[in-house]
Structure 1
Amino acid sequence: MSAAPFSPGPRNLITDVDGISVGQSEDLAARTGVTVVLPADHAIAAVDVRGGGPGTRETDLLSADCLVDAVDAIVLSGGSVYGLEAASGVAAWLGARGRGFTFQSTHLVAPIVPQAILFDLTNGGDKDWGETPPYRALGMDAVAAAGDTFALGNKGAGLGARAGALKGGIGSASVLAPAGFTVGAIAASNPFGSTVMPGSARFWAAPFEKASELGDQGQHPAPDSLPDDPYADSKIGASPGMNTTIGVVATDAALTPSETRRVAMMAQDGYARSVRPVHTPFDGDVVFAMATGTRPLPEDAARPAMVAMLGALAADTLARAVARGVYEAETLADSVSYRETFLLS
């Protein structure tokens, strides 16, 4: 018997979406890493950027008025500006295997690999890499490792992340939508704001929890009142570009580029449901959306409503992924984990 709509997929990962794989790699000494979302074939993609300090690559080409509307991979990376080189490694790996935008009458290909980065340069790792930052190699290792299952927490782009006052990490979740569609999300949680309600162990995303993926948030009720200060439990001394939550939502629905863009825009609300404050001048919040197209949508009056449903579920699922990245993270040096803070004390 298949699972009911609105339940998590069998893995509760973005890879529950047909045609999506994920690979990750880390440099433990540098406390940084890379996460690659790899579609089995070209996937329709879009992006929505709302933070005040974003770091991205090849996002302009996803505009509706540009030639390319599909991607070969999407990269999430630590490393700030240095991390943007991870996409070069992924593109090289894909190109060597003939995957990419094909030039007519030649054997040449140009892989389309958009990317977003987060800031983890001041997390205490050894960043003395001179003229050879590790990100190109990390990108190649991550895409080569792509598969159906992957670890959460201190992995990939989440290794060096910090979420407000807590250790951040990589998180993922999925949900089964009506009519057999699947929606998944993955997020590297490194926001300026807090993912937890001040004065409690309750995630802001607690209402969206499924299958006790956040440690059964019902055991952690919301406080009777919350502080007026929107910066409560956020990072201290942050400056523009030093934070960021970056993520990807995906569905197996056959969406058009404009529909995929709408899903990306709606999915940004997942950050607002899981982080406070969000979209600040100190963050570079980015959401990519991907549609693998393995399940057709109806070509009738019901289609817009189904797109709206997929976008709403993408927002909820992204909120779960953000919180799950923090829940699954482990203490790293002076960046203390959620579970050590609230469950082991």
Structure 2
Amino acid sequence: MERSEGGASPGARNLITDVPGLGVGQAEDARVRTGVTVILPQDRAVCAVDVRGGAPGTRETDALAPENLVEAVDAVVLSGGSVYGLASADGVVAWLGARGRGYGLVAGIPPSPVVPAAILFDMANGGDKAWGEAPPYRALGAAAVARAGADFQLGTAGAGYGAMAGSLKGGLGSASIVAADGFTVGAIVAVNSWGSVVAPGGRTFWAAPYEIGEEFGGLGAAGLRGPADHWGLAKGQASTRNTTIACVATDVALTPAQAKRLAVMAQDGLSRAIRPIHAPFDGDVVFALSTARQPCPEAKDLTLARLGALAADTLARAVARAAYEARPWPGSDVPCWRDLT
């Protein structure tokens, strides 16, 4: 993978797991057309969240406020399934607790794993949702965390399995960047947006200016145009149930307040890659993690500004990679980016 003009380049995998100390696990249910993605730090990690969408579905996000007790988390969950998908974190909590991981207060009492989560709406994609009193999400969460490792699938996978990016097949995307002075930033995203990931009248990704090499087709930015009040391949007016959920991460040690600023700045990556975004009926959420594998340089504010800018660019790239790698569900003819001409 080539370097950018600033001397930075993607990590070896061009995935969020290029950030030292992180693994990712995924599980899907093809019959239901849904899935779960778990971001698993090797050690408890500082975490923050920024919520911009008008219709979010989340768990444990209040605990992440810098003024609150818990300063680190044990995992982050991204899930399909709307409100039912929040149960995926139950499976992750049970798996972690059985292995002695979590926040401990009193000796002899089981630890309490801290697992924030966010969900997207993939309920109207034609999958079998007649699960009665046994939704699949707790089991999917447990299966996903058990599979956590350095490599994972993009596109129609994990939390992005049932997703749509505007009127195109959405999916799971990831990317990374290693700065010239050695720190790493990564992003992972499940793209189920109301807005379009491509400019009107063609197949050029909104994120094209941020592409490195040919990681999502190498088409360049020549086809970019954004007419006012014209959004191309966005969903129709009646499609008001959407969400893009993401996590960015760095190996630089951050405080909870600094991680919050990282999440805030990273949200700009969604704005660069999806149009429109953060609508009243979107549930857009971005988590930020610090694995603290290296100290923050003395110029902390400047470093944080650089981390935030890199996180936004990397998240924009991850969004485009999600749609670029997406494939139809088995037996379906759902339109994909690769079908565009």
Q: The TM-score by the shorter chain falls in which range? A: over 0.9
- Aligned to 1:13, which of 11, 15, 29? 15
Partner of 2:253: 254
The secondary structure found in structure 1 opposite 2:181 is: helix
1:305 matched to 2:305? The reply is no
Tell me, yes or no, if the aligned pair for 1:209 and 1:217 is still in contact at 8 Å.
no
TM-aligned CA deviation for residue 233 of structure 1: 1.8
Q: CA RMSD in A?
A: 1.5
TM-aligned CA deviation for residue 174 of structure 1: 0.1
The secondary structure found in structure 2 opposite 1:102 is: coil
TM-aligned CA deviation for residue 196 of structure 1: 0.1
Counterpart residue type for residue 289 of structure 1: A
Tell me, yes or no, if the aligned pair for 2:200 and 2:230 is still in contact at 8 Å.
no
TM-aligned CA deviation for residue 303 of structure 1: 1.4
Structure 1: gaps (5+ residues):
none
Counterpart residue type for residue 232 of structure 2: A
Counterpart residue type for residue 235 of structure 1: K
Tell me, yes or no, if the aligned pair for 1:166 and 1:336 is still in contact at 8 Å.
yes
5 Å-filtered alignment, 1:35-184, equals 35-184=37-186
TM-aligned CA deviation for residue 107 of structure 1: 4.2
Partner of 1:235: 235
Tell me, yes or no, if the aligned pair for 1:156 and 1:170 is still in contact at 8 Å.
yes
Tell me, yes or no, if the aligned pair for 2:48 and 2:256 is still in contact at 8 Å.
yes
Partner of 2:322: 325
TM-aligned CA deviation for residue 237 of structure 1: 3.5
Kindly provide the CA deviation profile for residues 167-206 of structure 1, in whole angstroms up to 9, marking residues without a partner as x: 0000000001242100000000010000000101100000
TM-aligned CA deviation for residue 334 of structure 1: 4.2
Partner of 1:294: 293
Tell me, yes or no, if the aligned pair for 1:238 and 1:282 is still in contact at 8 Å.
no
Tell me, yes or no, if the aligned pair for 2:48 and 2:263 is still in contact at 8 Å.
yes
| Alpha-carbon distance between aligned partners in 1 of 2:52 and 2:226, rounded to the nearest angstrom | 26
| Alpha-carbon distance between aligned partners in 2 of 1:230 and 1:77, rounded to the nearest angstrom | 30
Counterpart residue type for residue 292 of structure 2: G
Partner of 1:266: 265
| Alpha-carbon distance between aligned partners in 2 of 1:232 and 1:34, rounded to the nearest angstrom | 29
TM-score, normalised relative to structure 1: 0.95
Kindly provide the CA deviation profile for residues 41-99 of structure 1, in whole angstroms up to 9, marking residues without a partner as x: 00000000000110000000001111001110000000000000000000000000000
TM-score, normalised relative to structure 2: 0.96
1:316 matched to 2:316? The reply is no
| Alpha-carbon distance between aligned partners in 2 of 1:160 and 1:117, rounded to the nearest angstrom | 12
Counterpart residue type for residue 59 of structure 2: R
Counterpart residue type for residue 308 of structure 2: G
The total of aligned residue pairs comes to 336
| Alpha-carbon distance between aligned partners in 1 of 2:58 and 2:20, rounded to the nearest angstrom | 26
Counterpart residue type for residue 171 of structure 2: G
TM-aligned CA deviation for residue 341 of structure 1: 2.4
The secondary structure found in structure 1 opposite 2:340 is: helix
The secondary structure found in structure 2 opposite 1:304 is: helix
Deviation beyond 4 Å, 4+ runs, structure 1: none
Kindly provide the CA deviation profile for residues 284-303 of structure 1, in whole angstroms up to 9, marking residues without a partner as x: 000000000001112x3x11
Structure 2: gaps (5+ residues):
none
Tell me, yes or no, if the aligned pair for 1:184 and 1:314 is still in contact at 8 Å.
yes
TM-aligned CA deviation for residue 222 of structure 1: 1.3
